[in-house]
């Protein structure tokens, strides 16, 4: 009989190694891969590894509160399961399994529109704090229908992912001849995706009351436009390095975007946030919520729903350890003075946060 998960997995590195063992080559490459030479993937990690902490001591950190707020709800950490299409190729139950894990631990889930079992069934699977992410692959009526369904099923906000005007070249998938689960059946709608403009953002804000998140902002200029269009959340992301190659790392562009947005909207971020220290760095830089993309998938691939919960527990432990060692007892006490630029050490790739996970 297997040992309980809290004995099997004492570290995130062991979870990543187990996921590697469990996944077939196609889904594994789909999960970890980026676009073309994967420069953006590496820069995501490099940007995080180029930040060091400035710890303060003798500050009574015997009680640490790592909770956060998310659309008026209290959540256990300032993190969210980022939207993942095709989760069903990684874990049985797909998004429903992720919802159960998110609910059991106590963090929000952002559901991808290209993930099974879909908007309604995922909402029914667990009482998560949830938001819905749409790839615009239809006309205005098609978008409005999704907004209504999301609203009817308790999604707290709506997200448009806007860094997919072109479908990128993911060479691991191409070389492995891996066909995305949704690509076989989904109606062709890519012309809507490439035709998207700020006009549709304006139309959304004029028509719908549901808070709007724009995911895939990578410049100060677009952050400013998003704010001027009245969006509630500017989500800084380069799609985990899976879209435009040779972009900057998310953590590198985050500070200037936080400054430009100047509290007129929330700023969220994702891109290789794998460790508790990464989450703390994001919040110190001014992000409100950190999206976790690959990490929850690795937990699910390692051991299903309990594997995801275990990954989040370890992450929480890392966050609490980091906060305490920085001399703060909550995220509210964290400031940019707790971090500083520093030369990075070692390698920077999708798994460089896990140097002990074994061969790749």
Ligand X SMILES: Cc1cc2nc3c(=O)[nH]c(=O)nc-3n(C[C@H](O)[C@H](O)[C@H](O)COP(=O)(O)O)c2cc1C
> Which residue do the tokens 């009245």 mark?
230
Given candidates 42, 130, 137, 215, which one binds ligand X under the rule CB under 6 A?
215
Q: Based on CB atoms, which residue is closest to ligand X, 253 or 328? A: 253
Given candidates 78, 247, 293, 306, which one binds ligand X under the rule CB under 6 A?
293
Given candidates 23, 48, 97, 114, which one binds ligand X under the rule CB under 6 A?
114
User: What are the two backbone dihedrals, phi and then psi, of residue 137, each rounded to the nearest 5 degrees?
Assistant: -125, 35
Is residue 31 a contact residue for ligand X (CB under 6 A)? yes
Among candidate residues 146, 153, 208, 239, the one labeled active-site is: 239
Paired tokens of 245:
């190659």
Report CA dihedral (171, 172, 176, 178) to the nearest 10 degrees.
-90
Is residue 85 a contact residue for ligand X (CB under 6 A)? yes
CB of 111: closest distance to ligand X in angstroms? 9
Q: How far is CA 63 from CA 164, 319, 320, 324, 334, in A?
A: 43, 13, 10, 9, 15
Spatial CA neighbour of 319 closest among 156, 107, 126, 111: 107
CB of 327: closest distance to ligand X in angstroms? 28
Spatial CA neighbour of 4 closest among 228, 309, 263, 255: 309
DSSP 65: B
Residue ranges with strand state E in 285-331:
289-292
Q: Based on CB atoms, which residue is closest to ligand X, 75 or 328? A: 75
Is residue 112 a contact residue for ligand X (CB under 6 A)? yes
Q: Based on CB atoms, which residue is closest to ligand X, 90 or 322? A: 90
Q: Could you tell me which stretch among 79-87, 101-109, 169-177, 304-312 binds ligand X (CB under 6 A)?
A: 79-87
Q: Based on CB atoms, which residue is closest to ligand X, 91 or 114? A: 114
Cis, peptide link before residue 83, omega less than 30° from 0: no
Residues touching ligand X: how many (CB under 6 A)? 23
Given candidates 38, 222, 245, 270, which one binds ligand X under the rule CB under 6 A?
270
In the annotation, is 239 catalytic? yes
Q: What angle do CA 344, 348, 353 make, to 5 degrees?
A: 90
The residue at minimum Cβ distance from ligand X is: 293
Contact (Cβ atoms closer than 8 angstroms) between residue 106 and residue 201: no
Residues in touch with ligand X (CB under 6 A): 30-31, 82-85, 112, 114, 133, 161, 215, 237, 239-240, 242, 270-273, 291-294
**Residues recognised as catalytic:** 239
């Amino acid at each position: 009989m297997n040992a309980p998960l809290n004995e099997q997995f004492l570290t995130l590195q062991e979870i990543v190694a187990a996921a590697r063992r469990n996944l077939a080559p196609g889904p594994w490459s789909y999960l970890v891969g980026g676009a073309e030479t994967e420069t953006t993937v590496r820069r995501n990690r490099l940007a995080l590894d180029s930040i060091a902490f400035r710890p303060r001591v003798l500050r009574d950190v015997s009680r640490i509160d790592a909770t956060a707020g998310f659309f008026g709800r209290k959540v256990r950490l300032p993190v969210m399961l980022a939207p993942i299409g095709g989760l069903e190729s990684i874990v049985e139950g797909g998004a429903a399994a992720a919802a159960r894990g998110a609910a059991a631990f106590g963090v929000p889930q952002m559901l991808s529109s290209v993930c099974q079992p879909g908007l309604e069934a995922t909402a029914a699977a667990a009482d998560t704090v949830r938001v819905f992410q749409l790839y615009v692959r239809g006309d205005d009526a098609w978008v409005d229908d999704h907004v209504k369904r999301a609203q009817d099923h308790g999604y707290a906000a709506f997200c448009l992912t806007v860094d997919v005007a072109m479908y990128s070249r993911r060479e691991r998938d191409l070389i492995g001849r891996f066909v995305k689960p949704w690509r076989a059946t989904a109606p062709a709608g890519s012309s809507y995706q490439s035709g998207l403009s700020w006009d549709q953002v304006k139309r959304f804000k004029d028509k719908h009351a549901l808070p709007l998140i724009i995911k895939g902002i990578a410049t100060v200029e677009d952050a400013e436009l998003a704010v001027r269009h009245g969006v509630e959340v500017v989500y800084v992301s380069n799609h985990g390095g899976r879209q435009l190659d040779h972009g900057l790392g998310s953590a590198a562009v985050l500070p200037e975007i936080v400054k430009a947005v100047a509290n007129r909207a929330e700023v969220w971020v994702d891109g290789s946030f794998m460790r508790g220290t990464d989450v703390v760095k994001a919040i110190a830089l001014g992000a409100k919520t950190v999206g976790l993309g690959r990490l929850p998938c690795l937990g699910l691939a390692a051991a299903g729903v309990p594997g995801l919960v275990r990954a989040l527990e370890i992450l929480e432990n890392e966050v609490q350890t980091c906060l305490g060692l920085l001399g703060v007892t909550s995220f509210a006490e964290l400031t940019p003075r707790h971090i500083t630029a520093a030369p990075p050490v070692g390698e920077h790739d999708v798994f460089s946060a896990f140097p002990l996970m074994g061969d790749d």
